[in-house]
Amino acid sequence: MRPHLFTLQSVALLGALIAATSGISDTTLDAEHQSAFHSQLQCRCLPSQACWPSVSTWTTFNQTVGGRLIATTPAARECREPYYNKAKCDEIQENYTSVVWRQNQPGAIINHNWETLNGQGCLGANQTTPCHQGSVPLFTVNATNVADVQASIRFAAHNNIRLVVKNTGHCFLGRSIAPHSLNLWTHHMKDMQVADAFVPEGAPQGTQGRGAIVLGAGVQWKEAYKFISQYGREVVGGGEGSVGTSGGFCLGGGGGPLSPRYGLCVDNVLQYKIITANGELRVANAYKNKDLFWALRGGGPGFGVVVEAIYKTHPALKNVNFAEIIIVAPEQAQMDKVVQDFYARQPAMSDEGWAGLAIVDRTSMMLRYFLPEAPNTQAKASLKPFLDYARSIPGVAVVGERVDDHAVYYTAWQDYVSIIPDKSAGANTVLGTRLIPRRLLESAKGVESFTSALRQLQDDVRDFVPKGGYLMFLSAGGQVAKGNSKDTSVLPAWRTTLLEFMLMAGWSDDTPVPQQLHIQQTVTAATEHLRKITRESGTYVNEADPNEPDWQRSFFGSNYPRLRVLKHKYDPKGLFVCRKCVGSEDWDNDLMCPRRP
């Protein structure tokens, strides 16, 4: 088995002060309501069954969506017999692992392990095994407007077909793909506008407008950043530019390097336009559909399909320092000292305004950290005690050290993502993650227990993550901790979090299924070392282990009961069911039939 290479992928999220969700009662479902809801759920229709729409019904639907219905096949199909096509296969071989290429294929997602079904699929560009449909949807609507979205939702609901929503296909929990399904593909809904004085619909007369960015469902962060930089404004988005602005990212929280300064994405939403399960276009904001607005800011996908998101913008940042530091050690013993010292400094660095990402393994560490709105001399002086300490350990060397001053955030961000290769997709990836509370890092004892848990975790995954590599994001604290929008459904633990830990594990395509399962189970078990010392915390729903235990509590905490009620209110038949999404415990493991009570 080829060990999975540790690829740098994301830059994530954040968190801060207890979300005393004032005004929100902890509504729960009583047994009677629960069973009434459950009785509305029915198994999805399969192509082999009489309920499946006829060819002429599909043809009529295709006309309704302007001929934008695509019979969807696995992305590598034309490299396999009997579908082999030289020109197409050359393109596939060239681009199979490209993020940009994969996101333009209706049937592909970023992490291709989710494209299989019961161990069968069509993975890899250079295989000779038969090509199976796997979990690749049967049909895709290449949506370009609201009417396409409404028609697709109504068609799936009316014919009781499994519906899946795919934007960029980045989901680590395989939520943007489903077998026997109709795929509502939002990637090409690219409208973007800037507003100087946006006033939410339904706001009282005289409400002061504010700077905002209006984003169609398919806009990606790299597009939004470039666009907004021309207006001398900033918007809080992902560290990774290929992530979507308006889909899963913000529904689940949404964070990146500017979050410590401006909060999570959910703290910055001004308004959503969303199509709910009955096909209705609704506006959700602080004045209209307030309960839905709450659910859409942290509750994850499953409440409808967002067609437009409007986020706050902020004045352009000046003097943005970007530091890239690389430290190497001969053995883990020395590296552990460096790492321990570094984590002990995180509360103070957060207070100074730093944010960023550390990529750590047994013998090396790379920092990619930002300090906005500070003189370059201050940024350098701030890092000096840590670098001096690292150098003082025999054998340890600082082999890379630059702290660059950027006049604007946009170029600092481009520098930050410059090491992320486009060809990092089309692999088998699962995560083990945890939000690390600030309080753990405020005492020497806490830091010691943290680093010792990390060491044990590295040992547990040694067979398939030999170098023990992981990512650690400083993307919470600061404004995330202040919780500038207490009325969100995001996991309350974000407000007391400082760091996000992320282990990425994977396997090669030829790994036998039992071994794949073993790797997944080992990741879940190894993360327990961190769960054990952070019981009050949880994990970021968008960057989570698909096998996360007790996921309702871990992803949503005390907000779960109310989210479940709202799920039933807006999606009573579970049209938008997805893996470990709110209300999915009402369904079987494959989410095709309701679970027998």
Ligand X SMILES: *[C@@H]1O[C@H](CO)[C@@H](O)[C@H](O)[C@H]1NC(C)=O
Ligand Y SMILES: Cc1cc2nc3c(=O)[nH]c(=O)nc-3n(C[C@H](O)[C@H](O)[C@H](O)COP(=O)(O)OP(=O)(O)OC[C@H]3O[C@@H](n4cnc5c(N)ncnc54)[C@H](O)[C@@H]3O)c2cc1C
State the residues that interact with ligand X by CB under 6 A.
62, 67, 69-71, 90-91, 93-98, 100-101, 106, 124-126, 142, 144, 188
Query: How far is residue 253's CA from residue 332's CA, in Å, rounded to a whole number?
Result: 34
Question: Would you count residue 217 as binding ligand Y (CB under 6 A)?
Answer: yes
Residue 48, token pair as written in the block: 């082999």
Nearest distance in Å: CB 128, ligand X: 12
Residue 167 contact among ligand Y, ligand X, none, beta carbon within 5 to 8 Å by kind: ligand Y
Q: How many residues bind ligand Y (CB under 6 A)?
A: 38
Could you give the CA distance from residue 313 to residue 268 in angstroms, rounded to a whole number? 8
Closer by beta carbon to ligand X, 164 or else 366: 164
Residue 95 touches which of ligand X, ligand Y, none (Cβ within 5-8 Å per kind): ligand X
Residue 213 binds ligand Y, judged by CB under 6 A: no
10 φ, ψ (degrees, to nearest 5): -105, 175
Task: Please confirm whether the linkage preceding 82 is cis (ω < 30° from 0).
Answer: yes
- Report the distance separating Cα 443 and Cα 449, nearest Å: 10
Round to whole Å and give the CA distance between 572 and 490: 22
- Residue 404 to residue 321: CA distance in whole angstroms: 5
Closest distance to ligand X from the beta carbon of 129 (Å): 14
- CB proximity list for 159: less than 8 A, separation 6 or greater: 45, 51, 52, 53, 57
* Token couple for 240: 């990774």
Q: Which residues contact 392 (CB under 8 A, 6 or more apart)?
A: none
CB of 259 to ligand Y, least distance (A): 8
Are the beta carbons of 14 and 476 closer than 8 angstroms? yes
Of residues 259 and 313, the one with the C-beta less far from ligand Y: 259
174 binding partner (options ligand Y, ligand X, none; Cβ < 5 to 8 Å by kind): none
Chain residues 518-577 in contact with ligand Y, contact rule CB under 6 A: 542-543
Nearest to 365 by CA among 389, 413, 398: 398
- Residue 97 binding: pick among ligand X, ligand Y, none (C-beta 5-8 Å cut-off by kind): ligand X
Least distance (Å) between residue 189 CB and ligand Y = 8
By rule CB under 6 A, what string of x and - marks binding of each residue 2-31 to ligand Y? -------xxxxx------------------
User: What DSSP character marks residue 200?
Assistant: -
Binding letters toward ligand Y, positions 238-277, x by CB under 6 A: xxx--xx-xxxx-xx-xxx---------------------
With CB under 6 A as the contact rule, the residue among 176, 268, 289, 559 that binds ligand Y is: 176
Binding mask 72-111 for ligand Y (x = CB under 6 A): --------------------------------------x-
Which of ligand X, ligand Y, none binds 301 (CB below 5-8 Å, type-dependent)?
ligand Y
Q: Which is nearer to ligand X, 106 or 134 (CB)?
A: 106
| Burial group, residue 93, by CB count within 10 angstroms (0-12, 13-18, 19+) | middle
Whether residue 520 contacts residue 34, with contact meaning beta carbons closer than 8 Å, is answered with no
Least distance in angstroms from the C-beta of 115 to ligand X: 14
Please tell me the distance from the alpha carbon of residue 421 to that of residue 175, in angstroms, as a whole number. Answer: 24
In angstroms, the Cα distances linking 311 to 195, 236, 268 are 10, 8, 5
Binding of ligand Y by 183 (CB under 6 A)? no
Q: State the Cα–Cα distance between residues 202 and 234, nearest whole angstrom.
A: 26
12 binds, among ligand Y, ligand X, none (CB under 5 to 8 A by kind): ligand Y
What angle (nearest 5°) sits at the alpha carbon of residue 541, between those of residues 538 and 545?
80
Q: Closest separation between CB of residue 579 and ligand Y, Å?
A: 8
CB of 510 to ligand X, least distance (A): 12
Which one of the spans 18-26, 134-142, 235-243, 334-342 is the region binding ligand Y (CB under 6 A)?
235-243
Q: Identify what 67 binds: ligand Y, ligand X, none; CB under 5 to 8 Å per kind.
A: ligand X
Q: Which residue is nearest to ligand Y (CB)?
A: 247
Gyration radius of the chain over CA positions: 23
Taking the complex as a whole, how short is the minimal distance between the CB of residue 120 and ligand X, in angstroms? 19
| Binding-site partner at residue 353 among ligand Y, ligand X, none, CB < 5 to 8 Å by type | none
**Residue 144 touches which of ligand Y, ligand X, none (Cβ within 5-8 Å per kind):** ligand X
Give yes or no for a contact between 350 and 268, defined as CB atoms under 8 angstroms apart.
Answer: no
**Residue closer to ligand Y (CB basis): 175 or 368:** 175
DSSP 106-167: TT--SBGGGG-BTTB----SS--SPP--TT--SEEEE--SHHHHHHHHHHHHHHT-EEEEES
The residues binding ligand Y (CB under 6 A) are: 9-13, 110, 165-172, 175-176, 186, 217, 238-240, 243-244, 246-249, 251-252, 254-256, 301, 305-306, 542-543, 578
